[in-house]
Each structure stands twice: as C-alpha cells, then as structure tokens.
Amino acid sequence: MPVTLRSALLHPLAKPLVFVLCLLPLAWLVWGAATDQLGANPAEALIRGLGDWTLRFLCLALAVTPLRLHTRTPQLARYRRMLGLFVFFYACLHLLAYGWLDMGLQVADIGRDILKRPFILVGFACWLLLLPLALTSTNRAVRALGGRAWQTLHRLVYLVAGLALLHFFWMRSGKNDYAEVALYAAIIGVLLLERLFRYLKPRGVASR
C-alpha cells in the first residue's frame, strides 16, 4: 500500500526533515559567502538573501492553514509553529546581517539609520512585531494567555505581512525592480483574502 501524504506528515522523521530543509537556504548563503560566490557585493547579497527567505517563510507559514483546510490535511498543522519560528529566525539573521555588515554593529549609527530611512524603520517594526509572536509560540504561553487572547495576539502576523511587503517594495523601488514585489504581493493578497472570506463566511451563514 503506497504511503499517503497524511501518514508521511505524521512520520517521526518528517519534522526533523522539514527542520533540515528550512536550514538549507542559510547553509547555501553561508557557503556562497565563504566561497565568494555571492557576486560583487557579497554583504548586500547576504543581507537581501536573508530578507528574501524571511518573506518566503512568512508566505509558507500563512499558507499552512488554508492548505490544511482546503486539502483536508489536518496533519499540516504540526508544521505551522516551526515555519513561524523560522520566519523569526531568518528575520533575526537579516537584522543581524544589516547591523553587522552594513553598520559595523554601531548601535548609535543603527538607531539613526532606522529613524532616517523609512524602509529600514518598517523592516525593524516587522521584527518588533514578530518578537512577541515568537516568545508566545509555546504551549505554556497559550495556556497562560488563554486561547482567545493568544489567537488575537498572533493575528499580528497579518500586519507583519503587510509591513514586510512595504519594506520589500521600498527596498526594490531604488532599482525600479517590482517583479518579485508583485509576485509576493499576489501570494500574500490571496492568503489574506482567503482568511477574510473564511472569517466572514460564518457570519453570512448565521444571518440567513
């Protein structure tokens, strides 16, 4: 009998495998930096690469619930927390790379740069909003906050998605390169609309 997707997702090795796969982009970027394969400006390539993967993991994390519901695969819920934490992980690395490679870890200079450049400010705001989500990702935090309060707090991820797109748009606007911005905007837009329709549907049914 062939192994089904549902049983594969429940396999004891499935989570470790997904964990390793989530680390591959970092391994590729580190290897590229170590072997001088990130182009003429490796620092910029590393910073932007980490930012790109933050946005990609954000899309993946937002897609878990719609995929779980529409494919009737509840086993996917096991991976939502891990993907969400990888969003924060890559966001931290993106911020660290900017602070180290761009600003030399000079805190005063970093503070002035954040206040001076709007797209840096928006990116930093994304990280600040992700911080409480990462800190409350444990089962203990869910119990301490209560399910409803925890869900309300974690809806901040939709605000993070919007700000991340704005950060990406402003960053790419300097080079008039909007193709990837449009792609991510379309993906996140579809995911947010799906969430909105799912939120409104019970109200519509109840009003009949």
Nearest to 67 by CA among 25, 11, 5: 5
**Phi then psi dihedrals of residue 30, to 5 deg:** -65, -45
What radius of gyration, in Å, describes the C-alpha atoms of the chain?
19
Domain boundaries, the chain: 5-206
When pLDDT is averaged across residues 23-28 and rounded to a whole number, the result is 96
pLDDT > 70? residue 205: no
**Residues 103, 106, 107, 111, CA torsion sign:** negative
Q: Which helix or strand (DSSP H or E) is residue 94 part of? A: helix 80-97
Whether residue 96 is predicted with pLDDT greater than 70 in this model: the reply is: yes
Q: How many CB atoms lie within 10 A of CB 196?
A: 11
Which regions of 44-196 does DSSP assign to beta strands (E)? none
Per-residue pLDDT tens over the stretch 34-92: 999 988 899 999 999 999 999 999 999 999 999 999 888 889 999 999 999 999 999 99
State the Cα–Cα distance between residues 39 and 175, nearest whole angstrom: 17
pLDDT tier at 203 (50, 70, 90 boundaries)? low
**Is the pLDDT assigned to residue 29 strictly greater than 80?**
yes
pTM for the full predicted model: 0.91
* 22 pLDDT tier (thresholds 50, 70, 90): very high
pLDDT, tens digit, 9 for 90 and up, residues 139-164 = 899 899 888 899 889 999 999 999 99
Confidence of residue 114 (pLDDT cuts 50, 70, 90): very high
196 contact partners, CB below 8 Å, separation of at least 6? none
Q: How far is CA 101 from the centre of its chain?
A: 22
